[in-house]
Amino acid sequence: MDKETILIVDDEKEIGDLIEVYLKNEGFNVIKASNGLEALEEIKEFKVDLIILDVMMPGMDGLQACIKIRESNPVPIIMLSAKNEDIDKILGLSTGADDYMSKPFNPMELVARVKSQIRRAKRLNGAMALQANLIEIEDLLINTSTHEVRIGEREIKLTPREFDILVLLARNRGMVFSIEKIYQCVWNEDFYESDNTVMVHIRKIREKLEDEPRKPRFIKTVWGVGYKIEK
Q: Are residues 35 and 19 in the same domain?
A: yes
Q: Are residues 102 and 84 in the same domain?
A: yes
Q: Using 50, 70 and 90 to split pLDDT, how confident is the model at 130?
A: low
Q: Is the pLDDT of residue 3 over 90?
A: no
Q: Which domain CATH number covers 65?
A: 3.40.50.2300
Q: Using 50, 70 and 90 to split pLDDT, how confident is the model at 188?
A: confident
Q: Are residues 118 and 156 in the same domain?
A: no
Q: Are residues 21 and 117 in the same domain?
A: yes
Q: Using 50, 70 and 90 to split pLDDT, how confident is the model at 97?
A: confident
213 or 49, which is more confident = 49
- DSSP-derived secondary structure letter, 153: T
C-alpha span between 147 and 170 (Å, rounded)? 14
Q: Are residues 128 and 20 in the same domain?
A: yes
How high is the pLDDT of residue 226?
93
Instruction: Using the 3D structure, point to which of 132, 151, 183 is the last residue of a domain.
Output: 132
Q: Which domain holds residue 144?
A: 134-229
Q: Is the dihedral of CA 104, 107, 108, 110 positive or negative?
A: positive
Q: Are residues 138 and 127 in the same domain?
A: no
Q: Is the dihedral of CA 66, 71, 73, 76 positive or negative?
A: positive
pTM of the shown model = 0.60
C-alpha span between 149 and 143 (Å, rounded)? 6
Instruction: Using the 3D structure, point to which of 132, 164, 182 is the last residue of a domain.
Output: 132
Q: How far is CA 215 from each of CA 121, 133, 203, 204, rounded to the nearest angstrom?
A: 45, 28, 12, 14
Q: Using 50, 70 and 90 to split pLDDT, how confident is the model at 192?
A: confident
Q: Are residues 41 and 122 in the same domain?
A: yes
Q: Are residues 49 and 127 in the same domain?
A: yes
Instruction: Using the 3D structure, point to which of 107, 132, 157 is the last residue of a domain.
Output: 132
How high is the pLDDT of residue 178?
92
Q: Are residues 120 and 31 in the same domain?
A: yes
Q: Are residues 140 and 91 in the same domain?
A: no
Instruction: Report pLDDT digits (tens) over 63-96.
Output: 889 999 988 888 999 999 876 666 666 676 777 8
Asked if residues 149 and 141 have their Cβ atoms less than 8 Å apart, the reply is yes
**Number of folded domains that form the chain:** 2
C-alpha span between 204 and 208 (Å, rounded)? 6
Q: Are residues 166 and 207 in the same domain?
A: yes
Q: Are residues 170 and 120 in the same domain?
A: no
Q: Which domain CATH number covers 206?
A: 1.10.10.10
